[in-house]
Amino acid sequence: MRVPIAAALLTLLAGCGGATAPPPVVRAAPIPVPQPGMAALTTVMGASANALIAQFGRPQLDVTEGAARKLQFGGPICVLDAYLYPPKSGRGDATVTFAETRQRDGKPIDQSSCAAALRASRAGK
């Protein structure tokens, strides 16, 4: 009778060593991974155009296409693009439903850091 190689190896390994129990498995707490669109820009998401201008000053770019509006704010460190859309009910001001940030050279930057840098550069003017 032939014994499969894997079963033979397991039998040999089982005979090795003492009768010590394996150490208990300790699981670390999960670390949330930031995803695009997470509430990192709490002062931006849901804000109106007036609220954004109050925070960051005059936008470098203000583009309207249909009912959508894009405001772009830039500073020495990064650029913030905020996309505003009207409420589904059709009543009320358009608010930010999506925002993205990038460094001046196009590399990624944390959204909260960019918003803070833009506010700081405005305060320094």
User: Among residues 124, 106, 112, which one has the least CA distance to residue 57?
Assistant: 124
User: Among residues 35, 57, 55, 33, which one has the least CA distance to residue 46?
Assistant: 55
* Structure-token pair, residue 92: 């009320």
For the whole model, what pTM was predicted?
0.65
* Structure-token pair, residue 6: 């894997």
Question: Mind listing the pLDDT tens digit for each residue in 53-97?
Answer: 999 999 999 999 999 999 999 999 999 999 999 999 888 899 999
Question: Mind listing the pLDDT tens digit for each residue in 108-123?
Answer: 999 899 999 999 998 8
How far are the Cα atoms of 21, 34, 66, 98 from residue 85, in angstroms, in the given order?
Answer: 60, 24, 10, 9
The CB density around residue 112, as the number of other CB atoms within 10 Å, is 17
